Amino acid sequence: MREIFEAELHQLGEDLVALSGRVEHAVTQAGIALLTADLALAESVIVEDHDIDALERELDERCILLLAQQAPVATDLRIIVTTLRMIASLERMGDLARHVAQIARGRYPRHAVPHALSGTFAEMHDAAVRVARRTTTLLTNHELPLAESIQQDDDLLDELHEDVFTALLGGQWAGTTQETVDVTLLGRFYERFGDHAVSVSERVVYLVTGVLGEQLDRSA
Amino acid sequence: MREIFEAELHQLGEDLVALSGRVEHAVTQAGIALLTADLALAESVIVEDHDIDALERELDERCILLLAQQAPVATDLRIIVTTLRMIASLERMGDLARHVAQIARGRYPRHAVPHALSGTFAEMHDAAVRVARRTTTLLTNHELPLAESIQQDDDLLDELHEDVFTALLGGQWAGTTQETVDVTLLGRFYERFGDHAVSVSERVVYLVTGVLGEQLDRSA
């Protein structure tokens, strides 16, 4: 009984890594689609988000089943409840990647991000991809310094998000209303993406050390 | 043992209603602060969101404790896991009310929403307040037709959100960039507020009927 449970927990951990890998792929492709105005790529991200949602539901159900069948306590319970929350955050990160792709698709064949902000969004893309990649790695190897790197890139995403507002409101902005709307939403999507990754990384730290990061108190 | 557990579950249900009541208060005050440019009211919403966050954490911990101490199965397990998710949604709704208040505060003494869109945002406010009030009532009395009303108001919020874009992009828009940014974000906050309320209401339906609404598949 115990061995089966351990095997199922282990499999759950592996599938969480797989979910994170899909999110990493989604945000990478979405950002490239955005920065290069690639319609086919944007559409693939939008379609593949269904797979992320399906995987989320499947993992969710397995967590509930484990709770019901094994009535776990202590560490096992902590792992499963925390996994449920990480699944929810990763699914949301997938949604945010899809939102980026939807804006890229909606503006095709034009670029959604005007030239004046393309450098800022290229940096946001790079930071989001690093954050996603490190989240996958952290879920794989539980090397806690990665959580610190994720936090730093989240801080960078917040700064870049501020840069977007500074560019919009600094008096030099010559974009159209559509561009203003798009970069406002895109900035928000990337900023939220970072928040969710920090939330996942803090939950990994919590599982490994039993300490809940103070960041969890910092709601966005 | 069983009686204590039942008493704790009952108390949890009452505290969930209290959490929802606070969210209802927050979104009501935030909307009034937004529509009337009331600085003190906006600040009270921002400050009181700490209470919502504190209540969220407390309820969360009690759910985990109940899982650990009682190792519930079947319906009891379903109630607690579902409650954990409703707590998360309600906390997020509180955040969104705070975001609305933060925009109102940031533009004071001006109105964040320009005259051309004040009617649309007054309607969004009314719909969001109804949604929040009905969520509290639904959590109290489990009368399922309320879930349908919440869904309808969420559809209305989606339509009003579309109306904001139509106004922004229809060629008649004469707002400043700051106004464009603000109404873009405000529209998004109200739209997400409705989504989370639908999520809560569908979880109540799920608890009462065992059927998970198809809306849960519809990610925003």
* Chain A interface test: which of B53, B184, B185 (most A C-beta within 10 Å): B184
Name the residue of chain B whose CA is nearest to A74's CA: B68
* Closest CA of chain B from A72, distance in Å: 7
Structure tokens that stand for B84 in this block: 């954990």
Please report, as a single letter, which amino acid is at residue A40. A
Domains observed in chain B: 2-212 (1.20.58.220)
Of the partner residues B78, B81, B177, the one whose CB lies closest to the CB of residue A173: B177
**Residue pointed to by tokens 């561009």:** A179
Please report, as a single letter, which amino acid is at residue B181. V
Whole-number Å distance between alpha carbons of A14 and B157: 39
Name the residue of chain B whose CA is nearest to A70's CA: B71
User: How much helix, strand and coil, in percent to the nearest 5, is found in chain A?
Assistant: 85, 0, 15
Pairwise CB contact (< 8 Å): B95 & A220: yes
Is the pLDDT at A220 greater than 90? The verdict is: no
A91 at B interface, C-beta within 8 A: yes
Inter-helix orientation angle B177-209/B115-141, to 10°: 20
Q: Is the ipTM of this complex over 0.85?
A: yes
Instruction: Tell me the pLDDT of chain B (220 aa) as tens digits.
Output: 688 889 999 999 999 999 999 999 999 999 999 999 999 999 999 999 999 999 999 999 999 999 888 888 888 888 999 999 999 999 999 999 999 999 999 999 999 999 999 999 999 999 999 999 999 999 999 999 999 999 999 999 999 999 999 999 998 999 999 999 999 999 999 999 999 999 999 999 999 987 655 444 443 3
**Residue B205: how many other CB atoms lie within 10 Å:** 21
Whole-number Å distance between alpha carbons of A105 and A42: 6
